[in-house]
């Protein structure tokens, strides 16, 4: 198992002390030199650790004064409830909650050969053609979720809904689009895993490289058990608390 980078270890240690109340809101942290001596690292390592905690919203820097514990940033709840999409609402993950205006940007490529891992999830052969759509979900204009979606062209080719964000049902979601061409969705399987943000993800989400994210591997199946879409979803942990809601069949 790879060893944790020194700045991440220092950031984790400082975070624990802040959350434990050793330094309260408005308190100034010790100097970089003092922290470097305490943890046995260079000042540049402490600087990277502090920068990470500033991105997370635990600290704030004040020019010419130092670094202070800030009022905690609100961590918004993101609701994942697929039964809502069955009622016609797009699963935007709660982006419109608490006054946040939810929207998304999307870019689709057609006739993209399926990589081996994606092909396995879709029960197709590697190289079979798919529609690949990259999403950036926004709240108040800021990216808060990424999604990399794959749909087999064998399901939607030569139909009006081949492109998720164009055509008569643009933006209506997988369930509504596929229902319009006679494909009924029955099951959604999501596998959530904690992870660290890569460089590209961190850049898009406005977080630090190595920051905690939740990766969700989602696959959607029709009534015959055939996978009709799979996606990799990335949600920054510092900004979102993911909550799952399940409908109960009264019958």
pLDDT digits (tens, 9 = 90+) for 38-81: 999 999 999 999 988 887 778 888 878 889 998 766 666 676 76
Q: What is the pLDDT of residue 113?
A: 98
pLDDT in tens, 190-220: 999 999 888 899 888 887 777 789 999 999 9
Distance of alpha carbon 235 from alpha carbon 211, whole angstroms: 11
User: Tell me, what's the pLDDT at 229?
Assistant: 98
- pLDDT at site 65: 84
Which sequence spans correspond to the domains of the chain? 6-69, 76-246
Q: Does domain 76-246 have CATH number 3.40.50.2020?
A: no
pTM: 0.69
Spatial contact of 221 and 186, defined as CB atoms under 8 Å apart: yes
The residue ranges of the chain whose pLDDT is under 70 are 1-3, 72-77, 79, 81-102, 249-251
pLDDT of amino acid 76: 65
Q: What is the structure's pLDDT at 89?
A: 42
CATH 3.40.50.720, domain 6-69, yes or no: no
Q: Do domains 6-69 and 76-246 have the same CATH topology?
A: no
């Amino acid at each position: 198992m790879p060893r944790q980078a020194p700045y991440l270890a220092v950031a984790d240690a400082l975070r624990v002390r802040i959350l434990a109340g050793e330094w309260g809101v408005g308190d100034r942290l010790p100097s970089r030199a003092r922290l470097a001596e305490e943890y046995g690292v260079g000042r540049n390592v402490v600087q990277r650790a502090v920068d990470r905690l500033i991105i997370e919203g635990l600290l704030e820097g004040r020019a010419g004064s130092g670094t202070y514990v800030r009022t905690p940033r609100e961590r918004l709840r993101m609701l994942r409830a697929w039964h809502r999409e069955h009622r016609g609402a797009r699963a935007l993950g709660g982006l419109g909650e608490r006054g946040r205006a939810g929207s998304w940007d999307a870019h689709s490529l057609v006739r993209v050969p399926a990589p081996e891992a994606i092909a396995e999830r879709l029960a197709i052969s590697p190289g079979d053609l798919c529609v690949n759509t990259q999403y950036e979900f926004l709240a108040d204009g800021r990216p808060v979720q990424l999604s990399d979606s794959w749909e087999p062209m064998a399901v939607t080719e030569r139909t009006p809904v081949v492109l998720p964000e164009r055509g008569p049902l643009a933006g209506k979601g997988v369930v509504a689009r596929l229902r319009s061409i006679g494909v009924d969705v029955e099951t959604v399987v999501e596998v959530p895993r904690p992870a660290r943000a890569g460089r590209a993800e961190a850049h898009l989400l406005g977080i630090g490289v190595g920051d905690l994210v939740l990766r969700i591997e989602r696959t959607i199946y029709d009534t015959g058990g055939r996978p009709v879409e799979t996606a990799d979803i990335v949600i920054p942990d510092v900004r979102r608390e993911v909550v799952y809601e399940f409908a109960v069949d009264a019958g």
